[in-house]
Amino acid sequence: MTGSSSAAFSDTLINALKSILGPGGLLTQDTDTAPYLTDWRGMFHGKAFAVARPASTEACAKTVKLCAWHKIPVVPQGGNTSMVGGATPDDSGRALVIVMSRMNRVRDIDRIDNTMSIDAGVTLKAAQDAALDAGLMLPLSISSEGSADIGGILATNAGGNNTVRYGNARELALGLEAVLPDGRILNLMRRLRKDNTGYALRQLFIGSEGTLAIITGAILQLQPKPKSIETALCAVADARAALELFAAFRNAEPSAIQAFEFMSGLSMQLVNTLIPDAPLPLAEPSPAYVLVELASPRGGDTLRGLMEEVLGKALEDGLVSDAVLAESEAQRQAFWKLREEHSEAQKRAGTSVKNDVSVPLSAIPEFIDRATTACKKLIAGIRVAPFGHIGDGNIHFNLVQPEGADGAAFLACDHEIMDAVTAIVRDLGGSFSAEHGVGQLKTYMMPAWRGGAELDVMRHIKTAIDPEGIMNPGKMLPEVG
């Protein structure tokens, strides 16, 4: 016997869930569930009959098992900072949202292996802090690190500022623990750098956006804490100059580059004007900026020398028109604030359309030129505000509504704008989702971009692991039809 959909809302079911999840483990009142039913950008609104907050992997497993029995859709949610509606349920009200915030233990840190075993519900910031407390570093940094949790960053294979040196979330995870759609626990919590024993299930589940399993724990590879860090903000003419500066640093010492971020003049201006205490630390505004950070586990002033050597040459060559080096940790934080507040500033400037795209490094200048022209042609007064991880070929090509225009009307054009931008990305061999994922915002793009054999294989895998389709339905893979 299998439960019907009406059974999903029976008192019996609610009581069974309450019994599994314990006091405070199940939220059913609208006021309690509301924060979990709208995404951070306010673009997607869903319904759920309840929100589950398991306090252990076992409780999570039992919850999913019950949902599987009743064929109740399960929507895993991390810090609810998805940019693509990846963690918001549909509006049927049949779903159970599962959040990991009560699973917030750092299980163990090993100082010989430099590994951290951790619950999925720990926020990225808390995990970074725990690593620092142990004299180590968790080298993943994203703007939402205060809310995003470990499960979320792994489910979406988050990237961020340090990918250029340490890779994405994928590269940092040695081990994984997950609950399968049938409620079984998949224990891949191995802390081995080499392990070729069967299919790379860990790799498959990382980046699967909650459509195959719920990640409940992980073992992360930590790095030695840098003993010296040098950070500089540079004024450059355009993306071409930024790329040349990147090449100059890479030629001098590639393994020292910890971050290499690009910011357009308009995007920086929005931060300077709309975010408190975020002034531009340069004499005058520039068409574009680079934030470069070098780091080394060795002490001494070698790194300062390297930074001054490369920037000195770049100033001489006219590649950089002005530059300022952080002289204290406070100043470094101030530089980083200018970068981290880009999304928030754009939010305050009105509605915006986001294109989280990547192209091969060499194609970045052409991409920015062509996409800027295309967007300006589409909507008069559109504010083109790209920024991002140029060292990885990853640009957040964001468009802010024209000043004083109707935000909703602008947003109604989002697919038109996205399609214009991504057509150019595609022409240049890029990706329509570099690091934010597909979620529900971009599922419609999958057939055109990843169709044919690729999408077929993805669907076969989805059906093989989640035959009833209960895991985060409607995300990533478009409906067949």
Residue closer to a second copy (CB basis): 107 or 298: 298
Residue closer to a second copy (CB basis): 160 or 350: 160
From the list 132, 200, 283, 409, which residue makes contact with a second copy (rule: CB under 8 A)?
A: 200
Contact between residue 400 and residue 350 where contact means Cβ atoms under 8 Å apart = yes
Quickly list DSSP for 32-99. HHGGGSB-TTS--B---SEEE--SSHHHHHHHHHHHHHHT--EEEESSS--SSSTT---TTS--EEEE
Contact between residue 160 and residue 176 where contact means Cβ atoms under 8 Å apart = no
Question: Which residues ranging from 362 to 391 are in contact with a second copy (CB under 8 A)?
Answer: 362, 389
Q: Is 237 in the site for a second copy (CB under 8 A)?
A: no
Q: At what angle do helices 57-70 and 11-21 cross, to 10 degrees?
A: 160
Q: Of 25-33, 111-119, 328-336, 376-384, which part binds a second copy (CB under 8 A)?
A: 111-119
Residue closer to a second copy (CB basis): 260 or 335: 260
Q: How far is the CB of 374 from a second copy (least distance, A)?
A: 21
The site for a second copy, by CB under 8 A, has a size of 85
From the list 187, 273, 333, 373, which residue makes contact with a second copy (rule: CB under 8 A)?
A: 187
CA dist 141 and 124 (Å) reads 8
Residues with Cβ within 8 Å of 42's Cβ and at least 6 positions away in sequence, in order, are none
From the list 137, 180, 215, 323, which residue makes contact with a second copy (rule: CB under 8 A)?
A: 180
Amino acid letter for position 191: R
Question: Which residues ranging from 283 to 322 are in contact with a second copy (CB under 8 A)?
Answer: 296-298
CA dist 70 and 5 (Å) reads 7
Question: Which residues ranging from 244 to 273 are in contact with a second copy (CB under 8 A)?
Answer: 247, 250-255
Question: Which residues ranging from 415 to 454 are in contact with a second copy (CB under 8 A)?
Answer: 429-438, 446, 449-450, 452-454
Q: Closest by alpha carbon to 436, among 424, 428, 448, 445?
A: 445
Question: Which residues ranging from 153 to 172 are in contact with a second copy (CB under 8 A)?
Answer: 156-157, 159, 163, 167-168, 170-171
Residue closer to a second copy (CB basis): 190 or 377: 190
Q: Which two tokens stand for residue 399?
A: 């468009």
Phi/psi-derived region of residue 476, left when phi > 0, alpha when psi is between -120 and 50, beta in every other case = left
User: Site map for a second copy, 116-155, x if CB under 8 A?
Assistant: ----------------------------------------
Residue closer to a second copy (CB basis): 233 or 259: 259
Q: Is 455 in the site for a second copy (CB under 8 A)?
A: yes
End-to-end CA distance of the chain: 29
Enumerate the β-bridge partners of residue 115: 110, 221
From the list 193, 277, 327, 330, which residue makes contact with a second copy (rule: CB under 8 A)?
A: 193
